[in-house]
Chain A
């Protein structure tokens, strides 16, 4: 599946959350990650984030698209972090 994760996390924890997400997904904008991921990997990722977040103050949204083919993406302006297999 394809996921977009957005988050609003207190400054003291935001770096830790970002570090976890970086292991799984592509950082596309401030506080936004996206990418293709399996059910289990997402579960693993979120369980790691869960340990860092304070559920009374922070929030994290997960948007899922089961079939990545059903998703189209347009970019206006600069594409900050294009996902590419060539570096």
Chain B
């Protein structure tokens, strides 16, 4: 079956959130309770600003949809604060590679974990493409839900910017 990319394409951050937490994805999409002064969010922002200041092609907005940190001749690079969310980071980058491929551009990707001085190389395989397609279909379904997906307790909930939002309740 043909995959209608135009219908399913979305922002990279949403692919990232999809792999972190479906509820976060929904809330983020609706613009609810994202705290930009949350310490971790702020740290990430500054890190982004500081890293690779000399790079020429930074924060490239492509197709008015995806924003790639750094683009060079044969690579795209993403900058991340820590490697704790490695899988979502990789999926986000694979999505960018997939996106570029739809535009007829083929590149490789790297994730730079600046604080840990670690670099992860990523290449798009056929298997990955299948995975991305099904993720995009699922993302669209989640975003069409009338109310947010229920809380699913995850080991990293406590560190999330939405922790207080999700878990604030009255106990009897």
Contact = CB atoms under 8 A, between A and B. Distances in A.
Chains A and B touch each other in the complex, with CB atoms below 8 Å apart: yes
A40 B40 contact: yes
Interface stretch (B20-28, B42-50, B125-133): B42-50
B43 A39 contact: yes
Interface string B9-51: 0000000000000000000000000000001101100100110
B50 A40 contact: no
Tell me whether chain A's interface is mostly helix, strand or loop, or mixed.
helix
Contacts, number: 17
Interface residues of A, number: 7
Contacts of B50: 47
B46 A39 contact: no
A41 interface: yes
Interface in B103-161: none
17 contacts: A38-B39, A39-B39, A39-B43, A40-B39, A40-B40, A40-B42, A40-B43, A40-B46, A41-B39, A41-B42, A43-B43, A43-B46, A44-B42, A44-B46, A47-B46, A47-B49, A47-B50
